[in-house]
Chain A
């Protein structure tokens, strides 16, 4: 779908054309669903959140100006829906909002990850990959959202600012903090424990 096609469909959908909107949903559902799945962590909630995001998109499609990618606009809706959901879950669970603070409450040092984080063999890589997937789940929703949007959806800082409604400077520092936090949870993951192998180098 070209951006011109997309624009035409968005215009039609703005006018209430359900068939045009259906095409847009079909085009974007995989991305939206995968984003939701990574944010909320289970398939049923991800389906619910994706549907809610698309329904919102249809309702408010008139406010999409076509100056960003439609998918980025959808990410924004999806992220908001998911974060609201996660926060309400967390309120239920802990009685308070779990939000990532952008203050430097964790001190200014990073416990530097050890050699486990620079895997050499494919097996080690798989293990690291699995550990990252597992520990991403444990991050506060705001950290999880920004990391997923950046690392997996490959949004630029500008698009991240747009999607998460942040200043670009905040995007930068929050991404850093999210990575730092991920390092910390990885380091405390007792199931992630292969021995670092020696730093050898072969002739290239």
Chain B
């Protein structure tokens, strides 16, 4: 088939989290109307997901070889490398059009993979910076705070169920050494291939800190390092407030519609989302809450853990979190 090169190039940038919000929105709009491009996008994404990612250890001879060559001053005859351009100010890139991760209800136990593009995982205290556009909009409209009862403060251990380790107690040694204890998930958009919804594990490919693990799966408020099928160190993780704000920013004010199954037939489904938080259940303290979110154009479909799905119509930013959360929780009787 012939596709527009422009769109294809844009797909590549969107997959990398390097497209602007407008570009990303334009692409998604196009994908809704062009099945060929939607297919191409899924294919490109799958191929990227299938990149080899296991690191092998460096041979033992490497380090001594280097050091003895240095000691022998053998390096000096090397031809000079091309001049090193002065590095630009370092900026770890935030995916411009970011949405979030995903999750699942325990009853389905399916995972989603996350794209390994852009900043699926960022170190919230150090490596993360927002794009200029985001910074600007953030300056104009400070992110709402979430003092909603069911939502725990990310930094407060006491609010987590005692059986689950908090982020701060995370035992996983960081290969990066300097990685902060707190990992937050930035939100990355993805067009969710319908097929992926059902059965396959979406794995977050290794990025920096997670190099040691081949992949990471998230569910029910935990993430799990997975190295060749061997699970390592489940850790409770929650979205950071900033990421939560992106989520809810995205959800806009809107109306809850009657759930109509046929919405699920639409293509391309946008995006999976995952939001984990802690919800109050009646008389029982707190429990993990997982939310999956699917987007279909102006419709958003939510599912909270094993509750029935909620269809939500949305078309304007931003929303007030409390209102949103209340309507959401109210709708499922929590």
| A residues apposed to B, CB below 8 Å | 1-3, 5, 18, 21-22, 25-27, 29-34, 37-38, 43, 47, 50-52, 54-56, 58-60, 63-65, 67-69, 72-73, 76-77, 80, 104, 108-115, 117-122, 125, 128-129, 131-133, 136, 147, 150-152, 154, 156-158, 162, 165, 172-173, 175-176, 179-180, 182-183, 186, 199-204
A189 to B317, CA, bound (A): 47
| B residues apposed to A, CB below 8 Å | 1-3, 5, 8-9, 12-13, 16, 18, 36, 39-40, 42-44, 46-53, 55-59, 61-63, 65-67, 69-71, 74-76, 78, 80-93, 108, 110, 116, 176-178, 193-201, 207-208, 211, 264, 292, 294, 303
Q: A59-B75, A202-B198 are in contact. Are A117 and B86 (CB under 8 A)?
A: no
B178 touches A3 (CB 8 A): yes
Contact residues in B for A118 (Cβ distance below 8 Å)? 39, 42-43, 46, 193, 195-196
A55 touches B70 (CB 8 A): yes
A20 to B114, CA, bound (A): 37
Q: Closest residue of chain B to A182, judged by CB? A: B47
Q: A2-B177, A132-B50 are in contact. Are A73 and B84 (CB under 8 A)?
A: yes
A25 touches B195 (CB 8 A): no
Q: Interface majority SS on A: helix, strand, loop or mixed?
A: helix
Q: Chain B's nearest CB lies how many Å from the CB of A93?
A: 23
A68 to B88, CA, bound (A): 7
Q: A56-B78, A204-B197 are in contact. Are A32 and B12 (CB under 8 A)?
A: no
A137 to B71, CA, bound (A): 35
B74 touches A55 (CB 8 A): yes
A158 to B85, CA, bound (A): 13
Q: Closest residue of chain B to A38, judged by CB? A: B52
Complex A-B: 19 CB contacts under 8 Å: A18-B71, A30-B211, A34-B58, A43-B59, A55-B75, A59-B76, A64-B84, A112-B39, A112-B43, A115-B39, A118-B46, A132-B47, A136-B51, A172-B13, A173-B9, A175-B16, A176-B12, A186-B47, A202-B197
Q: Closest residue of chain B to A151, judged by CB? A: B51
Contact of B81 among A56, A108, A115, A200 (CB under 8 A): A56
Contact residues in A for B76 (Cβ distance below 8 Å)? 59
Contact of A60 among B18, B36, B80, B264 (CB under 8 A): B80
Q: Chain B's nearest CB lies how many Å from the CB of A87?
A: 14
Contact of B1 among A68, A104, A112 (CB under 8 A): A112
Q: Chain A's nearest CB lies how many Å from the CB of B98?
A: 14
A156 touches B92 (CB 8 A): yes
Q: Closest residue of chain A to B75, judged by CB? A: A55
Q: Closest residue of chain B to A4, judged by CB? A: B178
Q: Chain B's nearest CB lies how many Å from the CB of A99?
A: 15
A199 touches B195 (CB 8 A): yes
